[in-house]
Amino acid sequence: MSTATRTFTRALRTSARPAFTAAPRAAFRQGGRRYYSSEPAAKQSSSTWLWVAGAAAVGGGGWFFLNNQGSATPKVFTPKFEDYQAVYNEIANRLEENDEYDDGSYGPVLVRLAWHASGTYDAATGTGGSNGATMRFAPESDHGANAGLKAARDFLEPVKKKFPWITYSDLWILAGVCSIQEMLGPKIPFRAGRQDKDVAACTPDGRLPDAAQAQDHLRNIFYRMGFNDQEIVALAGAHALGRCHSNRSGYEGPWTFSPTVLTNDFYKLLLDEKWQWKKWNGPKQYEDKKTKSLMMLPADMALVEDKKFKNWVKEYAADNDLFFKDFSAVVTKLFELGVPFKEGTEKWVFKTVNA
């Protein structure tokens, strides 16, 4: 799809959202393709400081840096809110730097990275979850459910290089928070303090949802993490974002007409459209009968086939504010599963950049 067409369709599709929310984003996009430049590199001198991981030295809460001339006195750096906001801003300003990537935004794939990094949690054993960023390693990076997420991890490498003090574990979740907010979603509170782990902490395959399965499978997967039926349906609303790729998951197409804007359209479309099996050589998936341009997965359709799930689908389809409130709460819970935050760790809400 051309840049002009994409700009027009996004503006059109956000018109259903409250004007005070959609207008700034629509206006910001009127120029079509956007370009960004990095901050100018800091001038180097003989007193250049070298960043060194200092988790052990400062109780896991900071970094220290050493003078490359051999200074024996390390300076401790403990990141504050404004430091994490700077990381947020860096990500936000790059989300749409590549107009040819998917629908023009890395936001959806970054949400998926944060989701899949967190969704491996097992409450019974206390293993998995966002504390570790173990998808950096095989075999977890090669799990079928994580296909295509290398694009998200690679996107964040320059950010990690620019802000070496942030752990991959916090960076991935912060990227998910940033993407949700910048795609006109609700505010998502963030707490820092995740620590990276090595390959030994990789989780076994099969902990993430299988799109080909139905309601029993969904309950087994999400109950294992500590979620209830309402929370399962609220989390599913993230399918308003992004699309499937036949060369990754095997499935193909977007769930909604506005895959870079978070709305309750996923629920509306589930209820209002007529869905039929797609006739193709790929795995079983649904397509909308009217345009044949949208898709639903078997696991999505399970939400309207199950009476308890369907009640919540109806609630969220009828009330976008309720969806935003519940989605913010449940995605925050997901992103924090299994993280041993220090007592008194603050929850921060970041200021949006382009939304």
Q: What CATH number did the domain enclosing 240 receive? A: 1.10.420.10
- pLDDT (0 to 100) of residue 53: 54
Residue 172 lies inside a defined structural domain of this protein: yes
**How many structural domains are present in the chain?**
2
- Residue type present at position 291: T
Q: Are residues 197 and 89 in the same domain?
A: yes
> Among residues of the chain, what percentage have pLDDT more than 90?
78
The answer as to whether 297 is a domain residue is: yes
In a domain, 355, yes or no: no
Cβ-based neighbour number of residue 268 at 10 Å: 18
Q: Which tens digits make up the pLDDT trace of 135-194?
A: 999 999 999 999 999 999 999 999 999 999 999 999 999 999 999 999 999 999 999 999
- The verdict on 95 and 182 lying in the same domain is yes
Q: Which of 63, 115, 116, 275 is catalytic?
A: 116
Q: Looking at the structure, do residues 180 and 221 belong to the same domain, yes or no?
A: no
Residue 280 falls in the annotated catalytic set: no
Q: Is 63 a catalytic residue?
A: no
Range of the domain at 259: 215-330
Q: Where does a domain end: 168, 201, 234?
A: 201
Same-domain pairing of 196 and 251:
no
Q: Give residue 73's pLDDT.
A: 59
Q: What is the pLDDT of residues 273-289, one digit of tens each?
A: 999 999 999 999 999 99
Residue 163, domain CATH: 1.10.520.10
Residues 28-53 have a mean pLDDT of 39
Of residues 71 and 207, the one with the higher pLDDT is 207
Mean pLDDT of the chain: 86
Same domain, 227 and 273: yes
Question: Under 8 Å CB-to-CB from 178, ≥6 apart: which residues?
Answer: 88, 91, 92, 95, 110, 350
* 48-58 pLDDT, tens digit each: 445 555 543 34
Is residue 141 within 8 A of residue 53, CB to CB? The reply is no
Q: How much is the pLDDT for 8? A: 47
80-115 confidence digits (pLDDT tens): 999 999 999 999 999 999 999 999 999 999 999 999
Catalytic residue, candidates 115, 165, 172, 255: 255
> Measuring CA to CA, which residue among 208, 210, 213, 215 is closest to residue 304?
215
Residue 64's pLDDT is what?
A: 61
Q: What is the rounded CA–CA span in Å between residue 297 and residue 338?
A: 29
Cα separation, 97 vs 94, whole angstroms: 5
Q: Could you tell me if 303 and 296 are in contact, meaning their C-beta atoms sit under 8 angstroms apart? A: no
Range 340-343 contact pairs with CB under 8 angstroms and sequence separation of 24 or more: 340/131, 340/193, 341/191, 341/193, 342/60, 342/61, 342/193
In this structure, are 168 and 116 located in the same domain?
yes
pLDDT higher than 80, residue 74: no
Q: Where does the pLDDT of residue 70 fall: very low under 50, low under 70, confident under 90, or very high at 90 and above?
A: low
Last residue of a domain, one of 155, 179, 201: 201
